[in-house]
Structure 1
């Protein structure tokens, strides 16, 4: 592994509500079903159709700077979405990572609002800070995506601002255009506090 790549094989990250498994072509059929449960919440999110899922997964597996996961709901073992660690950045002059991003996240309609997203973030943050030893983890979303921004803010992360015309828009009809991007982050010193916030949110989800 170089400092601009991630390990070629993702670990299995297990929680109470969700298990993050290394993405494989074997996940394609269930991911296709998950993506078609209901697409009303995907207006700002690049979620492939069932017909596109095989090429979507193949594309993710072909990127050395990406650590992709299938999100598996523990209660029934059903694949309900995708998420990833990406964009690793090295420490200047060192053979180790300083920062990484959590992204390419989507969930089936039935898995949204169930605590699965919150626990997946805890697992990914924990792996990034406690195993990879990074100093910073980033999350970003379309600045217009209020639903996503509220979900991120609930985790107790730091809002850094809006970067104008920063990245590709995924809104239908805006192909080839740039979007304003809301940027969030957690640094290593903040992780214990964020971990506590996420643990409390999970407790609410499991015992409302």
Structure 2
């Protein structure tokens, strides 16, 4: 599995690994940044463990983790990844996305998702992209709905959160057959 470099005039997504993750340590410390995630990245040690897990998945061909560089603000902004990569069934997830508060609502996320969807469908040849989002995270749910993902159902109490809460997870999907229409709309909005 070759490491893609996904880039447009707004954002550059390159491999997140142990050589560059410290560029994210200040963003990772932002309060409530990943409140709806079962992960914990608040300390440098916990961030390193998070990255080590992603790198391990990369070598096992189940994860492609990205570090996000915002070209407009000339700054690292956060992280995202392809995960749960199922090569046999041609399905993967886009998620584990967190960007610093100053980058939120700037169009950065839409640019990232466009590049990732384009790569998943057009380069990797996948048939479906899924998103799994905490039911309480209305901001992220609206964002994937705006892109064109369809709610397919809710998994009840399936993820244990850091604070002991068991969350319900909303499952969204985009099919390869839906991509041309979604792509056209996204290109116009970018």
| TM-score under structure 1 length normalisation | 0.82
Report what 2:153 is aligned to: 161
1:68 aligns with 2:65: yes
Q: 2:48 aligns with which of 33, 39, 54?
A: 54
C-alpha separation in 2, matches of 1:180 and 1:43: 14
Instruction: Tell me the SS of whatever aligns to 1:82.
Output: strand
Report what 1:205 is aligned to: none
C-alpha separation in 2, matches of 1:24 and 1:114: 26
1:184 aligns with 2:172: yes
Contact 2:33 2:98 in 1 (8 A): no
Task: Give the alignment of 1:100-139 within 5 angstroms.
Answer: 100-139=92-131
How many residue pairs align between the two structures? 185
C-alpha separation in 2, matches of 1:123 and 1:159: 21
Contact 1:81 1:108 in 2 (8 A): yes
| 1:19-63 deviation line (CA, Å, top 9, x unaligned) | 001112222221101223x32343213351142222221221111
Task: Give the alignment of 1:17-96 within 5 angstroms.
Answer: 17-36=10-29, 38-45=30-37, 46-51=39-44, 52-63=46-57, 64=60, 65-91=62-88
Report what 1:3 is aligned to: none
1:145 aligns with 2:133: no
Contact 2:33 2:100 in 1 (8 A): no
How far off its partner does 1:76 sit?
4.1
C-alpha separation in 2, matches of 1:47 and 1:70: 17
Q: Which runs of 4+ in 1 moved over 3 A?
A: none
How far off its partner does 1:88 sit?
1.8
C-alpha separation in 2, matches of 1:140 and 1:200: 26
Whose radius of gyration is greater, 1 or 2?
1
Instruction: Tell me the SS of whatever aligns to 1:84.
Output: strand
How far off its partner does 1:161 sit?
1.9
Instruction: Tell me the SS of whatever aligns to 2:148.
Output: coil
**Which segments of 5 or more consecutive residues in structure 2 lack a partner in the other structure?**
none
How far off its partner does 1:164 sit?
1.5
**Which segments of 5 or more consecutive residues in structure 1 lack a partner in the other structure?**
1-6, 92-96, 203-208
Report what 1:206 is aligned to: none
Report what 1:11 is aligned to: 4
User: What is the RMSD computed on CA atoms of the aligned residues?
Assistant: 1.8
